[in-house]
Amino acid sequence: MLQSIEKEQLLLSSIKDKFGDKVRELYVNPKRIKILVNRENIVDVATFVRDLGFDQVISVGGTDFPKEDSFVVDYHLIGVEHEDLKKTIFDLSTKFPKNEPKTPTLMEVWPSAEYHEQETFEMLGIIFEGHPRMERLLLPEDWNDIPPLRKEFKLPSRLVEHGSS
């Protein structure tokens, strides 16, 4: 059996062999791999990663980088059906300008991405093109402010009543 980092290096090598400079390695550690892919290539890379054995999305997160005027979306993946991948987290990441907050949905690759993408849409305003339900999931129906996880969002003032209790 290969040592953990060797397994991750082999997985990364197969991705790089297939996609070349369309994929950028961010890090490889025991039980952790993170790559960055342009949104134009994310569906093809995601399909390849799925076929390597990473068959479940365990979370999708978005991050607002105001100094770079960009968003990053991270898909955290595991291989439930593959004993040697169950404890390895694969982070498939894409970065794009904040003034174009959209990226293709990965629901056709991983149906388990559905609610994670929907939450990321609601909290950051990132549109997952092709997603069948880009609609409110968690926020109140009367929410009329910008998405709350954007850095420019400001909490409304809270009125504090003073008096005896």
How many Cβ atoms sit within 10 Å of the Cβ of residue 114?
A: 18
Q: Write the CA distances from 91 to 19, 20, 22, 61, 157, integer angstroms.
A: 16, 18, 16, 10, 37
Q: What is the pLDDT along the chain (165 residues), one digit of tens a residue?
A: 455 588 899 999 999 999 999 999 999 999 999 999 999 999 999 999 999 999 999 999 999 999 999 999 999 999 999 888 889 999 999 999 999 999 999 999 999 999 999 999 999 999 999 999 999 889 998 888 999 999 998 887 654 555 544
Contact between residue 145 and residue 122 where contact means Cβ atoms under 8 Å apart:
no
The angle formed by the CA atoms of residues 103, 123 and 37, to the nearest 5 degrees, is 30
Question: What pLDDT is attached to residue 106?
Answer: 98
DSSP string covering 32-98: EEEEEE-GGGHHHHHHHHHHTT--EEEEEEEEEETTTTEEEEEEEEE-TT-GGGTT-EEEEEEEEET
Burial 77-108 (b: 16+ CB within 10 A, else e): bbbeeeeebeebbbbbbbbbebeebebbbbbe
The angle formed by the CA atoms of residues 33, 112 and 16, to the nearest 5 degrees, is 30
